[in-house]
Amino acid sequence: MKSKSAAMAIMGICTLYFLVPIWWLVVGATKSRSDFGNTAPLWFADVSLGQNLGELFRYRDGVFLRWMLNSVLYTGGAALLGTILAAMCGYALAKYRFPGREAIFNVVLGGVLVPATALALPLFLIFSQLNATNTFWSVFLPSLVNPFGVYLARIYATASVPEELLEAARLDGSGEVRTFFTVSTKLMFPALVTIFLFHFVAVWNNFLLPLIMLGNERLFPVTLGLYTWNSQVNQLPELRMLVLTGALVSIVPLVVAFLLLQRFWRSGLGSGAVK
Statement to judge: residues 14 and 130 lie in one domain: no
Structural domain harbouring 29: 1-47
- Is 69 inside a domain boundary? yes
- Is 173 inside a domain boundary? no
Q: In this predicted structure, what is the pLDDT of residue 265?
A: 58
Statement to judge: residues 196 and 236 lie in one domain: yes
- Residues of the chain where predicted confidence (pLDDT) is lower than 50: 268-275
Give the separation between CA 85 and CA 183, rounded to whole angstroms: 17
**pLDDT tens by residue, 53-93:** 999 999 988 899 999 999 999 999 999 999 999 999 999 99
What is the DSSP-derived secondary structure letter of residue 217?
Answer: G
> How long a stretch of residues is the chain?
275
Tell me the three state secondary structure of residue 168: helix
- Is 140 inside a domain boundary? yes
**Quick one: which of 153, 264, 251 has its CA closest to 201?**
251
Q: In this predicted structure, what is the pLDDT of residue 272?
A: 44
Residue 135 Rama label (left phi>0; alpha psi -120 to 50; beta): beta
Contact 108, 147 (CB under 8 A): yes
Give the separation between CA 10 and CA 185, rounded to whole angstroms: 39
Statement to judge: residues 135 and 248 lie in one domain: yes
Q: In this predicted structure, what is the pLDDT of residue 73?
A: 94
Statement to judge: residues 146 and 71 lie in one domain: yes
Helix axes 2-29, 239-250, angle to 10 degrees: 130
Kindly report the number of other CB atoms within 10 A of residue 110's CB atom: 10
pTM over 0.75: yes
Element (H, E) at 8: helix 2-29
Q: In this predicted structure, what is the pLDDT of residue 224?
A: 93
Q: How many domains does the chain have?
A: 2
**pLDDT tens by residue, 12-24:** 899 888 888 888 8
Contact 206, 225 (CB under 8 A): no
Q: In this predicted structure, what is the pLDDT of residue 163?
A: 87
